[in-house]
Amino acid sequence: MKLNGNKPAAEREGAVLFSSYTRGYGIRKALEIGRENVLLELRESKLKGRGGAGFPTATKWMLVAASKSEEKFIVCNADEGEPGTFKDRVLLLEYPELVFDGIVVAGFTLGAKQGIIYLRGEYEYMLKALEDYLEQMRLDNLLGDNILGNPDFSFDITIRLGSGAYVCGEETALIESLEGNRGEARNRPPYPVNTGYMGRPTVVNNVETLASVPHIVVKGGEWFKKFGTDKSTGSKLFSVSGDCERPGVYELLWGTKIKDLLEIVGAKNTKAVQVGGASGICVPKSQFDRSLAYEDAATGGSIMIFNESRNMLKVLRNFMEFFVEESCGQCTPCRIGNVKLLEGIEKLEKGTYTFSQLNKLKELGKTMQVASKCGLGQSSPNAFLSILENFKEEIFNKNGYGGRNGK
Amino acid sequence: MLVLEKNSLTEEVESLVDQYGTERSALLPILQAVQRKHKYISDFVQQEIARLLDIHPVEVYSVVSFYSFLHSEPQGRNIVRLCQTIACDMSGKEAVARAVERELGITFGQTTRDKRITLEYANCLGMCDQGPAMIVNDKVYTHLTPEKAINILNEIK
Ligand code: SF4
Ligand code: FES
């Protein structure tokens, strides 16, 4: 069943995630082979978290599986807020069977009774369709009591909505938000696998990670590993936007070169590619040979393309404004740092900067990367540092002071 | 506020608490339900929620003020959010924004006099392949042009 199966097929071909799958198969297979074997297949597959951090999924699951706690939770992080990312939208609307079967398999394997989807507030319009889908799963005994007749497996899924805070995509902030608090990142340790939602062991997985699970269970870890590279197994969904003919969601194998991706999506006169959204890195033309993989240009999937006509300083300003707004304000390096970086960009635009000021800002960026409490502040200087480094010519020379080239 | 109005708000909060429970984790769903209906969460409602969940009103306020979709001040009947992030910016959000402002006679962050529309910016709506994008209440519109956006706004009551 597709909730919104009207997308051009050309964009939805792929070897792994978008290969054929029948609803419920993953759950059936998991019940058949048992918990231990699910974990073994998962380990064999070398699946890593698709949110961007790339933590081995099997390791996370094993930590929770090993815990003796009465209560455990599976949380599906559907709070994708990285500018330029929309793969969850496609997965949830067009491939709900993958996402939900993945959550149920996780529930079975880890001994949890409840799964929670934390859906970003911006996706509220999907709620009804997703609730209906869950209801159908209950009718088909894929959710609820004694799933598929299994006397000791009962599990259900609830959907919770976010309310417009980018930082809630960070897993501990997400848990705070679920518990009814401000979405502020927690100090770690303890990690959610030990003390997560309601103080219970909790696995927090990205939508795409969970969507990979049913395929791995059905076809095996060995099969999954055949795709991609040694360190980055399987495939990856890329959300492509910006200057190209065919924006959209693509499934490509890990290890695909940036220049090949550009070819596929019909990008012309590209001067830069932002890999990983606002918090990612900006790759200049000279490096389009780089591959998209954990071991090279790692990414949660956002690819933004800029052609020759774009002013990179303007791009950078948009990113920094985003971070100034979205910083939760809890820790100083991020709260103050982002504002300072934005001020620096304004100086560059006006041409009132000095190089020693800029060097101080670069230092500040590096300090933020190590001293911020959560991923937001740790990665927000990435764009600043990489754009300043890679587009020196444009920013300092060609456009005169501050890159005002009339665009 | 009239006593009658207060009573009905109290009843409303009570029924939400019945539905979602008195655990702290029920706070966000309750606030979202109030926001959806009234477009903002008044001081009185915040106090009532605090009372029924047995937490301090300041705690409730701190949650309301944290999330960008929750408001403690009255808003328009319809909330319009235009995406301002990069992909939409590159595909022409600026022209849409200026046209909408001119048409409604307000700037972003403001509400029309007749309380029909509150205009806000949003950060990435997950429609970057189809920008510029905008959400009206919870409905998404994509591939906006200034004209298309104005037509959409003129439709809403
Ligand atoms: S890094 Fe930024 S978003 Fe993260 S906790 Fe610190 S202030 Fe909040
Ligand atoms: S940048 Fe506007 S929807 Fe993503």
ipTM score of the complex?
Answer: 0.95
Residue A339 pLDDT level (bands cut at 50, 70, 90): very high
pLDDT exceeds 90 at position A5: no
* The pLDDT value given to residue A407: 40
Q: How far apart are CA A295 and CA B132, in angstroms?
A: 34
Q: Is A307 on the interface with B (CB under 8 A)?
A: no
Cβ distance of B87 and A242 shorter than 8 Å: yes
Cβ distance of A83 and B24 shorter than 8 Å: no
- For residue B93, the ligand 2 atom closest to its alpha carbon is 2
> Which of B90, B93, B125 has the most A C-beta neighbours within 10 Å, making it the best mutation to test the interface with A?
B90
Q: How far apart are CA B72 and CA B143, in angstroms?
A: 32
* The pLDDT value given to residue A1: 41
Distance from CA of B157 to the nearest CA of A (A): 19
* The pLDDT value given to residue A7: 58
Question: In the 8-state DSSP scheme, what is residue A167?
Answer: G
Residue of B nearest to A85 (CA): B126
Per the prediction, chain A carries an average pLDDT of 93
Pairing of strands A248-253, A270-275: unpaired
Q: What is the mean pLDDT of residues A173-184?
A: 96
Task: Report which protein residue has its CA nearest ligand 1's atom 1.
Answer: A377
* The pLDDT value given to residue A404: 43
**What part of A 83-102 touches B (C-beta under 8 Å)?**
83-86, 88-89
Query: Which of A332 and A7 is assigned the larger pLDDT?
Result: A332
Q: How far apart are CA B74 and CA B90, in angstroms?
A: 32
Q: How is A250-287 classified by DSSP, letter by letter? A: EEEETT-BHHHHHHHHT--SEEEEEESGGGSEEEEGGG
Q: Chain A partners of B28 at a C-beta cutoff of 8 Å?
A: 160-161, 163, 177-178, 180
pTM: 0.94
Cα B114 to chain centroid, rounded: 17
- Here the tokens at position A205 are 């997985």
Query: Which of A392 and A144 is assigned the larger pLDDT?
Result: A144
- Here the tokens at position A339 are 């504002």
Task: Give the count of alpha carbons within 13 A of A230, CB side only.
Answer: 0
In chain A, % of residues over pLDDT 90: 89
Q: How far apart are CA A283 and CA A245, in angstroms?
A: 20
